[in-house]
Structure 1
Amino acid sequence: MLATAFAAVVLVVLLWEGYKWVGQQTGDRVPGTDIELLVDTDDLTMPHAKDILGEFVADVRDGRSTLPMSLYLLKKAWFTLQEAAVGFFLGLVVGLALAVFMLRWRVVERGLLPWINVSQTVPLIALAPIIVTWGRLNDLPDLLSISLIAAYLTFFPVAVSALRGLQSPNAADVELMRSYAASWRTTLFKLRLPAARAYLFPAFKIAATLSVVGAIVGEISIGTKTGLGRAILEFAQRYAVFPERLYASVIGAAALGLSVFGLITLAERMFVGRTREAST
């Protein structure tokens, strides 16, 4: 897995530098034509990969102190991770609860599922200030408000995938449970939840990465002084002077998203391994 990730990074760097070299040789035009390239290749728009990577060991101001960029981003990522983790678990609970309710009562599914889908069409950048303002009026910490924004993105894939997974058992298996006089709750825990495992973990992976996105958007929206969202906002304001720093902060955010994705993948492998051991 690490070898694949390293190979992917090398490929991206080669494509980046190759595109930049071609653009600088042709005046930002497709070779042999007068068609302009989609993205300019000047150092402001596309800094060299070595300059971006070198920024991770450069010093940046953090309040009254100075830190290497890598440690600075790691410090910011820790705050964002906390917000994303709370949002992930909130979204997990809400999503699973909605799936169970919709499974139990079909009228709830017909009435609620369309609105769950519609909820994801609301622009998060417009919703975030509303949630933060409501939280501050009710004396809630900004961390919780940002976590609610992350949960808003997180609950949707969990609810939809969990519902599909809970409905996945064959009708014959459900009838067999009924013939044993199993209650609805017993059928849920003994049949439907194990059958939904194949649907839940992919949803958890999507939800985990979305929780990071929601946390960063929330940080940018409220102008918090912590988190990767704040770092991205600050470096975006100084992009004309230090474009490499903005790219470095975006890479840090991507690394955090990949990290939480990897944690869920690891949890899935551990859970599947224990399940197989228990079955044998």
Structure 2
Amino acid sequence: MRRVLFALAGVALFAALWEGYKVVGSPDGTVLFGVRVLPRADDLSMPHLWTVLDRLGRPELTGGRPVWIVVLQACLFTAGITAAGFAAGAFVGLLLAMVMQRFRIVERGLLPYVILSQTVPLVALAPLVAGWSVLWAEWMTVAVIAAYLAFFPVAVGMLRGLQSPSASGVELMRSYAAGWWRTLAKLRLPAALPYLFPALRLAGAAAVVGAVVGEISTGTRGGIGRLIIEYSREATSDPAKVYTAMLGAALLGLLVAGAVSLLERPLMRHRRHVEVVTL
């Protein structure tokens, strides 16, 4: 209940800041030393929040479906691609973390390139991945881009978790003549759970970003990324319509992170129970 109240308070604070800035902000934006540091507060750049919500209930086109149905269907399409990319990225990240923990030379040689990989712009990467799509569907290109962003936090977080057990715990497993696999299953993996789930939440949000950017870059139809581009063409005449698609993308990221949290609760509750019993 406390988390729900904090989440609602965060939404209320955001709404208050948005509408408050529209009241006190300048329609031409706040300029400091000749540089605009805050956005324009006019209705074209920052429509009222109730205008955006009202636009969700009105038809996308004259006589067409309501905007919220179109946005929901686009989010479901992107969610499927995000799930595929998230699963692939998490698997690759876990595998890399275990290999780097097992072989120190692999960690020293591979970890810098894992970090360096996140500096490649997705806009430049998307056409390259699209060029590989000879034998796969168009959505798989977007899933690869989502996996590309998702594997990094999992690999780094899981590696940190696998290396977290104390030296005394590792020595205790060695005194039992436990091999690397048994030590991994009995000691390192349980110790890595507090590091893994925050990394998975970050990976889920990154997978959503990768899927949206991938849809925009490759022109994949049906997803929320493509919908943002289509609605942006009407920004001058119907600015609230653009924000409906952006709202859908934001909610999709929150839902993915929430799904990971639902998976975390039973596993971490069991781990805390074991710790209490052991104490």
Q: Give the corresponding residue for 1:195.
A: 191
CA offsets 1:129-176 (integer angstroms, 9 cap, x no match): 1112211x2x21112111110000000010111111101111111111
- Does the aligned pair in 2 maintain the 1:23–1:37 contact within 8 Å? no
The more displaced of 106-115 and 44-53 is: 44-53
Q: Give the corresponding residue for 1:204.
A: 200
Alignment TM-score, normalising by the size of structure 1: 0.91
The more displaced of 122-131 and 37-46 is: 37-46
Q: Give the corresponding residue for 1:23.
A: 25
Cα distance in 1 for partners of 2:227, 2:15 equals: 23
Cα distance in 2 for partners of 1:184, 1:27 equals: 63
Q: Give the corresponding residue for 1:83.
A: 81
Aligned positions of 1:1-280 closer than 5 A: 1-23=3-25, 28=29, 38-61=38-61, 66-135=64-133, 137=134, 139-276=135-272, 280=277
- Does the aligned pair in 2 maintain the 1:102–1:108 contact within 8 Å? yes
Cα distance in 2 for partners of 1:118, 1:111 equals: 12
**Residue 8 of structure 1: how far off its partner (Å):** 1.9
Cα distance in 2 for partners of 1:53, 1:248 equals: 8
Cα distance in 2 for partners of 1:216, 1:35 equals: 30
Cα distance in 1 for partners of 2:270, 2:61 equals: 47
**Residue 89 of structure 1: how far off its partner (Å):** 0.6
The more displaced of 223-232 and 1-10 is: 1-10
Q: Secondary structure of 2:64's match?
A: strand
Q: Secondary structure of 1:246's match?
A: helix
Cα distance in 2 for partners of 1:61, 1:174 equals: 64
- Does the aligned pair in 2 maintain the 1:83–1:215 contact within 8 Å? yes
Cα distance in 1 for partners of 2:28, 2:188 equals: 60
- Does the aligned pair in 2 maintain the 1:60–1:68 contact within 8 Å? yes
**Residue 278 of structure 1: how far off its partner (Å):** 6.0
Letter in 1 for 2:22: K
**Residue 55 of structure 1: how far off its partner (Å):** 1.0
Cα distance in 1 for partners of 2:164, 2:11 equals: 38
Change in CA separation of 1:69 and 1:181 when aligned onto 2, cut-off 3 Å:
same
Q: Secondary structure of 1:59's match?
A: coil
Give the alignment's Cα RMSD to 1 decimal: 2.1
Cα distance in 1 for partners of 2:188, 2:37 equals: 52
**Residue 61 of structure 1: how far off its partner (Å):** 4.2
Q: Which runs of 5+ in 2 are unaligned?
A: none
Q: Which runs of 5+ in 1 are unaligned?
A: none
The runs of at least 4 aligned residues of structure 1 exceeding 3 Å deviation read 26-30, 34-37, 274-280
Cα distance in 2 for partners of 1:179, 1:168 equals: 19
Cα distance in 1 for partners of 2:37, 2:144 equals: 41
Cα distance in 1 for partners of 2:35, 2:129 equals: 46
Change in CA separation of 1:104 and 1:41 when aligned onto 2, cut-off 3 Å:
same
Alignment TM-score, normalising by the size of structure 2: 0.92
Change in CA separation of 1:78 and 1:181 when aligned onto 2, cut-off 3 Å:
same
CA offsets 1:193-238 (integer angstroms, 9 cap, x no match): 1111111000000001111110111100111111100110101122
Change in CA separation of 1:134 and 1:36 when aligned onto 2, cut-off 3 Å:
closer
**Residue 16 of structure 1: how far off its partner (Å):** 1.1
Letter in 1 for 2:104: R
Aligned sequence identity (%): 47
- Does the aligned pair in 2 maintain the 1:28–1:41 contact within 8 Å? yes
Letter in 2 for 1:186: R
**Residue 273 of structure 1: how far off its partner (Å):** 2.2
CA offsets 1:59-108 (integer angstroms, 9 cap, x no match): 1149xx82211111110000100011011110111001111111111111
- Does the aligned pair in 1 maintain the 2:30–2:39 contact within 8 Å? no
